[in-house]
Amino acid sequence: MLIKKPSDVLPSEITPREWYARRREFLRQAAALGLAGTMLPAARALAQTASPIIEPGKLAKLPGKPSPLSAADKRTPYKDVVTYNNYYEFGTDKSQPAENAHKLKTRPWSVAIDGEVKNKKPIDIEDLLKLAPMEERVYRMRCVEGWSMVIPWVGFPLSELIKRAEPTSKAKFIGFSTATQPDTMIGLRLPVLEWPYVEGLRMDEAMHPLTILGFGLYGEVLPSQNGAPVRLVVPWKYGFKSIKSINRITFLEQIPKTSWNIAAAQEYGFYSNVNPSVDHPRWSQATERRIGEDGFFQPKRKTLMFNGYADQVAKLYTGMVLKKFY
């Protein structure tokens, strides 16, 4: 048996992170192929720690009018959307947010508004829900790790809140902050990122019709692990830009700091547009695997420029070198 040293192992021979995270799916498919016999002990161990499946219909209804901006792609199954998440405040494994985020306190809740605006009055979540008519927006969402989903969000354009805030002429950027609840968010004890989680957009990105505040999915209010009670949804950017559980929005003259850029600037730029021609330093971004649809042994699908929204957003970046402004 040949045992390779770490220096001999090619990147292509390393198990992709998203494959490891989806090990339960692999075991199911392995069983179908008759491979399960040799994996039975591992399967039993994993079954003991399997995440609970949250069924639709358990949360309050939040319908939205169908939007012409919705993608025609097949929707990702509800159970995958609510049990396979990145929300590091509740754990770094994909299953941990579903297991831990039910502790999140979503009432009372208000969003602070500050910075370069005329109206700095905080807005209570109940008033925010009434600010504009709800729409259902079916969006393709792409994670920097190489997996994607198609999610029917319920929300309204962020521009509605921006108009309420009345930005001054100095407001060129918008910063967002996630709430911190040390008593409920076990991930805050881990030195994974600087807390609170922060993100940002350029003003024209924030005002774009595709950029929404999300309050629900699949016709119900957001589950906590998906960013309750209000989150950002920017479908042409990698998923970490769509910050969850927002409690502060700041209008700025200068570019805001963002969590992943602070943690690893060489890997995560401010713009973070989905761009298959710009590789992450440790893996390619040219392909992706659609959760709940693309099986473990199927070829990955090609990633689309701007996640398939190039016709709508490419003009925002005219004249910019996107390999530099990544």
Residues 73, 43 share a domain? no
Specify if 91 maps to a domain.
Answer: yes
Residues 180, 96 share a domain? yes
pLDDT(284) > 50: yes
Task: Give the number of other Cβ atoms within 10 Å of residue 265's Cβ.
Answer: 11
pLDDT in tens, 82-96: 999 999 999 999 999
What are the structure tokens assigned to 89, written together? 């405040």
For residue 110, which amino acid is it? S
Computed over its alpha carbons, how large is the radius of gyration of the chain?
20
Query: Cis peptide leading into 63, omega within 30 of 0?
Result: no
Specify if 298 maps to a domain.
Answer: yes
Specify if 55 maps to a domain.
Answer: no
Residues 269, 234 share a domain? yes
Residues 111, 26 share a domain? no
pLDDT in tens, 201-260: 999 999 999 999 999 999 999 999 999 999 999 999 999 999 999 999 999 999 999 999
Domain of 38, in residue numbers: 11-50
Residues 73, 35 share a domain? no
pLDDT(40) > 80: no
Backbone angles phi, psi at 226, to 5 degrees: -100, 5
Query: What is the percent of the chain with per-residue pLDDT over 70, rounded to a whole number?
Result: 83
By three-state DSSP, how is residue 308 classified? helix
Specify if 323 maps to a domain.
Answer: no
What are the structure tokens assigned to 198, written together? 């922060």
Specify if 277 maps to a domain.
Answer: yes
Could you say which DSSP state residue 167 is in? B
Instruction: Tell me how far apart the alpha carbons of residues 245 and 242 are, in angstroms, rounded to a whole number.
Output: 10
CB 126 within 8 A of CB 59: no
Strands (E), the chain: 65-66, 110-115, 123-124, 135-142, 147-157, 173-178, 198-202, 212-217, 220-221, 231-233, 246-252, 287-290, 301-302
What are the structure tokens assigned to 3, written together? 């045992």
| Coarse DSSP helix, strand, coil percentages of the chain, rounded to the nearest 5 percent | 30, 20, 50
pTM assigned to the model: 0.84
CATH of the domain at 146: 3.90.420.10
Residues 202, 69 share a domain? yes
Backbone angles phi, psi at 124, to 5 degrees: -70, 150
Give the H/E segment covering residue 160: helix 158-165
Specify if 28 maps to a domain.
Answer: yes
Backbone angles phi, psi at 126, to 5 degrees: -70, -35
Higher pLDDT, 56 or 140: 140
The residues, ordered by sequence, that sit 6+ positions from 260 with a Cβ below 8 Å of its Cβ are 193, 240, 267, 268, 272
Specify if 5 maps to a domain.
Answer: no
Residues 262, 119 share a domain? yes
Nearest to 216 by CA among 64, 73, 54: 64
Average pLDDT over residues 96-124: 97
Specify if 1 maps to a domain.
Answer: no
Residues 161, 33 share a domain? no
Number of structural domains (the chain) is: 2
Residues 202, 106 share a domain? yes
DSSP calls for 34-77: T-GGGGHHHHHHHHTTPPPPPPTTSS-B---EE-TT---SPPPP
Instruction: Tell me how far apart the alpha carbons of residues 211 and 119 are, in angstroms, rounded to a whole number.
Output: 21
**What pLDDT, on a 0 to 100 scale, did the predictor assign at position 298?**
85
Instruction: Tell me how far apart the alpha carbons of residues 185 and 15 are, in angstroms, rounded to a whole number.
Output: 29
Residues 37, 138 share a domain? no
What are the structure tokens assigned to 12, written together? 């292509």
**What pLDDT, on a 0 to 100 scale, did the predictor assign at position 163?**
98
pLDDT(301) > 50: yes
pLDDT(51) > 90: no
**What pLDDT, on a 0 to 100 scale, did the predictor assign at position 53?**
54
Residues 287, 189 share a domain? yes
pLDDT in tens, 145-165: 999 999 999 999 999 999 999
Residues 122, 17 share a domain? no
Tracing tokens 């298959």 back to the chain, one arrives at 276
- Report for 40-44, 52-56, 71-75: range of highest mean pLDDT: 71-75
